[in-house]
Chain A
Amino acid sequence: EAQVTQNPRYLITVTGKKLTVTCSQNMNHEYMSWYRQDPGLGLRQIYYSMNVEVTDKGDVPEGYKVSRKEKRNFPLILESPSPNQTSLYFCASNRQGFRYEQYFGPGTRLTVT
């Protein structure tokens, strides 16, 4: 089954404790993105990747890092999480040439206390 998976689905952590949210897709898509969803703000792009070793900032990249060492994986790293990073996070992927047909993962709900 074609899908985007994220882990963990739920995470509660404390300020300053480094964490990684994993994202994996099995569709051989070139493009992958991370979004955060906050009430009243819709989805805002954090980082995106056009292919292996090619990443760039989205609209709200501060406090986040990403890497793309393999085509299928695109982890999101919070080096020193803060409470304002409490949010619902989505990973998405799409195939080159089908740039609007983004497939979204199920989401990771992160709470930073």
Chain B
Amino acid sequence: GQQLNQSPQSMFIQEGEDVSMNCTSSSIFNTWLWYKQDPGEGPVLLIALYKAGELTSNGRLTAQFGTTRKDSFLNISASIPSDVGIYFCAGDAGGTSYGKLTFGQGTILTVHP
């Protein structure tokens, strides 16, 4: 099946630093999504991207839908301790009515105060 490669697998940063992570695929996706999972919780949708080249922000988070439709990027500016968690990219290749998502392996983010 389709696979998404997410990198880096983990990040250890100081509070205030900016964070970048990305996701690549061998096939084209019509939609890219970014989720965050807090410890002991289920994933929560952060940003949804629907168009190649689209750049969308949600507070300190900015995500981009790559122009090749095979990649996406998430940036977090001025990180704070509550940014800790696992970040997942997910993509939908289309062809279903309900949106079948393929998830990346996740990026574990640790923020040191």
Partner of B99, one of A44, A99, A105: A99
Q: Interface segment, A12-20, A61-69, A73-81, A88-96? A: A88-96
Inter-chain contacts of A40 with B (CB < 8 A) = 9, 105
Inter-chain contacts of B97 with A (CB < 8 A) = 50, 96, 99
CB of A111 closer than 8 Å to a CB of B: no
Q: Find out whether the CB atom of A31 lies under 8 angstroms from the CB atom of B101.
A: no
CA distance A14 to B92 in the complex (A): 36
Partner of A42, one of B4, B31, B42: B4
Q: Find out whether the CB atom of B41 lies under 8 angstroms from the CB atom of A99.
A: no
Partner of B42, one of A4, A59, A100: A4
**Count of residues in A whose CB is under 8 Å from the partner chain:** 26
CB of A45 closer than 8 Å to a CB of B: yes
CB of A43 to closest CB in B, whole Å: 4
| 6 closest A-B pairs by CB | A104-B42, A99-B99, A42-B103, A43-B103, A42-B105, A31-B98
Binding site for B on A (CB under 8 A): 4, 30-31, 35, 40-45, 48, 50, 58-59, 90, 92, 94, 96, 99-102, 104-107
